[in-house]
Structure 1
Amino acid sequence: MKREKKYVDSRRDNILKIVKENPYVRVNELAKKLGVSLITIRRDLQFLDEQKLLKRTHGGAQVMKSEECDSDEISYYRRLIAMYAATLVENGDSLFINTSTNALQMLQYVTCNNITAITNNGKVINREYSPGINVILTGGELRYPKDAMVGDYAIRNLQTVFAKKAFVGCSGITPDAGMMTEIASEVSVNELMVNHSTEAVYVMADHTKIGKRSSFTSCAIEKVNYLITDELAPEEVLEEFKSKGVKVHQVHKGEF
């Protein structure tokens, strides 16, 4: 598994190098240069685009524009948050993963065995993760562009499911309003995942989301056991979270 992941990471590094050396490169050119299939390249480009490392286009990829490059630091911290969250998973765990890209990202860093991940994030289908992880999709109405599975069908399927831990992302989180989202249809699914977690609820939120209000509350702050954020999060807000019983972990550059 480690050898395979090292190979995938190396291939993606090569893609970034090629794209940086060329203003625009096509999928078939990348596949030929790297000796892999078109499907593999498309998956790599989707991953790198989600990490804000390049800009995926129709039939190819290009370098990020200067304003897009400003988000590189946020992407870096989100990756650290995902890597830290993965260390909290233990053999035999069952996990809820919501539609958060960051929450989904952590699965690629999980190295434990006999893990069951229950998610309403349709993007999991094209993601790579350890063979020790079994994925269960909630089903439901598929909403773009997040590929979120929501609605009555998803809710009914989750009503009889309980998991040890929930790893959930958000649009914002505050000490008074709690964990929030911009998408109304995701509220009920998030609530069920939080309420049906038997051991702990982990909220993954980079510094741009700490103290930020969004449109709809998914759960009260009292339901959150742990907040995983980064070193740039405002300390005064983190102190308020701690005063409400939330355990806070901040990732730092070079932590992994």
Structure 2
Amino acid sequence: MKSTQGEVYKRREVILQRLKSQGNVSVNDLADELKVSVITIRRDLALFEKKRMIERTYGGAQYIEGTVNNEYDIATDIQHIYEDTTREQIAIKAMEMLPSDGTVYFNSGLTTNAILKRIPNSNLNIITNNLLTLFNAPTENSIQFTGGDVSEKHNSFVGNIALHIIHSNRAKICFIGTGGISSRLVTTHSLLESLVNRAMIENTDGPKVVVAQGYKIGREHNFMTTPTSLITHLITDSSADKDILEAIRAQGVTIIIADQSITK
């Protein structure tokens, strides 16, 4: 049976606690204790190794002293790994919705940036206010930045120039990262960000896709991007609250769980 994101989170927290307390762990022992396959444990350890928290040894792993100082750090590190993993899963699923050509809007944020990093050389005309894309998006693609006022806090372009560029184009599809989505509203922390997000949605002829990790489902922030009923798709992960997802689905939104199959 496939593990939920919550189960994965808890398992990795146990592994990291064992590493910190014991100094080293055995793959076989962890698999027996946590009742999962050795392949699953190796995958978990590979993530810790990528974060330079452990060194792999024959049949196990050794903790690198000083990388985790206390219980808070363990929870924080696990949360970061969880966020990185689910963000990539959402990006992979979003790639399946990309058209072969035409204009696509991407707003600012880490999740939309994860999608942008994965787009191969294509005939797409990408329009974005995402400043992170300046540093890591493939250079082969046509990427048009909206320009405008720079929001350093959100790594984005905002303001009248950004809005003008968006209103001057029409997109086949848009991908919108968000601070929160409930059955009523898609919301964010920033008024200026919400205006850009709303303009992208209003100037998209096809699917209007919100990408949000599970912990954002059910949250509402101060500034509305759009009523939830006006988006067409939500891509999230299996840690999202199931009752809230059902309420969002009732608004006519197609729910896509990045680590499961599509449900409608």
How many residue pairs end up in the alignment? Answer: 202
**Secondary structure in structure 1 of the residue aligned to 2:138:** coil
Q: Which has the larger radius of gyration?
A: 2
| Aligned equivalent of 1:223 | 230
Distance in structure 2 (CA, Å) of the matches to 1:83 and 1:108: 11
Distance in structure 2 (CA, Å) of the matches to 1:83 and 1:231: 15
Deviations 1:172-229 (A, max 9, x none): 00111x1100011111111110000011100001110101111111011121100001
**Secondary structure in structure 2 of the residue aligned to 1:89:** coil
* Length-normalised TM-score, structure 2: 0.70
1:93 aligned to which of 102, 108, 123: 102
Distance in structure 2 (CA, Å) of the matches to 1:151 and 1:225: 26
Superposed displacement of residue 18, structure 1:
8.8
Superposed displacement of residue 143, structure 1:
1.1
Preserved CA contact (<8 Å) 2:178 2:186: yes
1:243 aligned to which of 229, 250, 257: 250
Preserved CA contact (<8 Å) 2:109 2:155: no
Report the AA paired with residue 139 of structure 1. G
Distance in structure 2 (CA, Å) of the matches to 1:227 and 1:172: 12
Distance in structure 1 (CA, Å) of the matches to 2:157 and 2:67: 31
Alignment partner of 1:115 is 2:109: no
5+ long unaligned stretches in structure 2: 1-45, 56-65
Preserved CA contact (<8 Å) 1:117 1:134: yes
Moved over 3 A (4+): 16-22, 62-65
Superposed displacement of residue 90, structure 1:
2.3
Q: How does 1:19-98 map to 2 (within 5 A)?
A: 19-20=52-53, 63=67, 65-71=73-79, 72-98=81-107
**Secondary structure in structure 2 of the residue aligned to 1:122:** coil
Superposed displacement of residue 242, structure 1:
1.2
Report the AA paired with residue 152 of structure 2. Y
Distance in structure 2 (CA, Å) of the matches to 1:17 and 1:202: 30
Task: Give the root-mean-square deviation of aligned CA atoms.
Answer: 2.6
Q: Summarize the Cα distance change of 1:96–1:63 in structure 2 as closer, same or farther, 3 Å threshold.
A: farther
Preserved CA contact (<8 Å) 1:95 1:164: yes
Alignment partner of 1:147 is 2:155: yes
Distance in structure 2 (CA, Å) of the matches to 1:151 and 1:68: 34
Distance in structure 1 (CA, Å) of the matches to 2:54 and 2:75: 19
* Length-normalised TM-score, structure 1: 0.72
Q: In percent, how many aligned pairs have the same letter?
A: 22
| Aligned equivalent of 2:8 | none
Superposed displacement of residue 243, structure 1:
1.0
Preserved CA contact (<8 Å) 1:91 1:112: no
Q: Summarize the Cα distance change of 1:18–1:79 in structure 2 as closer, same or farther, 3 Å threshold.
A: closer
Q: Summarize the Cα distance change of 1:241–1:21 in structure 2 as closer, same or farther, 3 Å threshold.
A: closer
